[in-house]
Amino acid sequence: AVPGFEQAIQAYASHLLSLSYQKVPRSVLAEAVNMDGASLDKFIEQQVTNSGWIVEKEGGSIVLPQNEFNHPELKKNTGENVPLEHIARIFPILG
């Protein structure tokens, strides 16, 4: 066994969930990180402390911090926008 491998996979799975979801059911998290019971509770507590996760009182779903990937309004504009009018002008040239 490689030391720290399982923890690295669990961290990666958590990262992927945070990129994809705003809220995740506890059962989905448990399957993704391959944990249950007390070990899952401890893992969630660590994420609440270190990563800003919130556990909902009703239902126990985990609310993940917003980022540009799981919350479209926060998406960064990384490129230039070309107005449709400019694109429409080149269509006759291409045809």
* pLDDT attached to residue 44: 96
pLDDT tens-digit profile of 23-41?
A: 999 999 999 999 999 999 9
Contacts of 10 (CB under 8 A, 6+ apart): 33, 34, 35, 43
Mean pLDDT of 72-95: 72
Between CA 83 and CA 74 the distance in angstroms is: 22
Question: For the chain, which residues make up each domain, given as ranges?
Answer: 5-74
Out of 1.10.10, 3.40.190, 1.20.1630, 1.10.287, which CATH number does the structure's domain 5-74 have? 1.10.10
Question: Where is pLDDT greater, at 27 or 75?
Answer: 27
Q: Band the pLDDT of 52: cuts 50, 70, 90.
A: very high
